[in-house]
Amino acid sequence: MYAKDVLLRTAALIQDGLVIAAPEDVATAIEKVYGGDQAEFASDRWRALYERAVSVESVKTARQEDLAEDSSIPPADGSDFLTFLPCRLDEHDPDARSQIAARTRLEDLPSVELVLIRSGDERLLSPRTKEDKKAIALATVRTPAGGIRYAELAALATPPGWRLAGGLRHLKPVILRDEGSFETGSFRYTYDPEHGLSWRRIDG
């Protein structure tokens, strides 16, 4: 629960039989342990253990920060990114009713996160740089889906390299045609920057 260096600083504080009265001494004791003051150890062996613990904790923190940076979504820079906005739907259009239902019952439906990759940007399927990962994050949309739509979208393959990255392993990439569309077995999806992602069943 506590880092080893914190436990050793605590041991240094109480090694001489220090008596702490609660609650009046608690705040002072915590400040001495977690504050920036140099800890005083009774022996060189204890100090060596403490310095090693600090070094190990620093390496661990740096590794966690690197992993967090790889998995986090960077701030949008306002240029050329995708957003998922509600489509303008006509409730009297039979083809649109399933989309309206998906939005009015969003909490009852599972969702799939898609990465909409333009034709020519297939390099993103094997991202090598932080800029590639940023482009993937900014091209990600989440769509509610039920029934066969969910089954088809969930069955889309995740690239092997994405499965090893925490922020990418649940994403499903699709390659957009020039008109911004792609198809699954039963549906044709179209992305529009103003309206978002819409879909219609493929006739026949």
Model pLDDT for residues 135-184, shown as the tens digit of each residue = 888 889 888 888 888 899 999 998 888 877 777 888 999 999 888 899 99
8-17, 63-72, 181-190: lowest mean pLDDT where?
63-72
This model's pTM is above 0.75? no
**What is the spatial distance between Cα 200 and Cα 9, in angstroms, rounded to a whole number?**
64
Let me know: does 185 contact 154? Beta carbons within 8 Å.
no
Q: Which secondary-structure segment (H or E) carries 157?
A: none
Nearest to 33 by CA among 4, 6, 3: 6
